[in-house]
A = this chain, B = another copy of it.
Amino acid sequence: MPDRELTTTSHAILGLLAIKPWSTYELAAQMRRNLHYFWPRAESNLYAEPKRLVEDGLAKARSEPVGRRRRTVYSITAKGRRALERWLAEPAAESRLESETLVKAMFAPYGTKEELLGHVRRLLDELQTTQQQLRTIFSEYLAGEDPFPERAHINVVCYRLIWDYTKTATSWAAWAIDQVERWPDVTAPTDRRELMKVLEEALAADTNAPCEVR
- Taken together, the copies of this chain in the complex come to 2
Q: Flag if A158 contacts B84 (CB, 8 Å).
A: no
Minimal beta-carbon separation of A67 from chain B (angstroms)? 34
Residues of B within 8 A of A196 (CB): 141-142
B97 touches A37 (CB 8 A): yes
Interface size class of A (residues with CB under 8 A): 35 or more
User: Are the CB atoms of B151 and A103 closer together than 8 Å?
Assistant: no
Main secondary structure of the interface of A (DSSP, over half): helix
Q: Which of A111, A118, A131, A172 has the most chain B CB atoms inside 10 A of its CB?
A: A172
Per-position 1/0 for A63-77, Cβ under 8 A of B? 000000000000000
Residues of B within 8 A of A100 (CB): 8, 39, 92-95
Do A111 and B85 touch (CB < 8 A)? Answer: yes
* A105 CB contacts on chain B under 8 angstroms: 154, 157-158
Interface residues of A in 1-54 (CB under 8 A from B): 8, 11-12, 15, 18, 34-35, 37-40
- Known contacts A150-B189, A213-B205; A18 and B110 CB within 8 A of each other: yes
A199 to B199, CA, bound (A): 32
Contact mask for chain A residues 142-180; partner B; CB cutoff 8 A; 1 contact, 0 none = 100000011111111111111111011111101110011
User: Can you offer 6 A-B residue contacts whose CB atoms are under 8 A?
Assistant: A15-B110, A39-B98, A40-B96, A138-B199, A141-B199, A160-B198
Given A138-B203, A211-B213, A212-B212, A92-B122 contact (CB < 8 Å)? yes
Whether the pair A98, B101 counts as a contact (CB closer than 8 A) is: no
Task: For A106, give its contact among B34, B81, B170 (CB under 8 Å).
Answer: B34
A115 to B87, CA, bound (A): 11
A119 CB, nearest partner CB in chain B, Å: 5
Query: In the complex, given contacts A38-B99, A88-B104, A91-B122, what are 10 additional A-B residue pairs having Cβ atoms less than 8 angstroms apart?
Result: A8-B100, A11-B107, A39-B102, A88-B115, A92-B101, A135-B203, A142-B203, A150-B187, A164-B171, A174-B210
Output the least CB separation between A175 and chain B (Å).
6
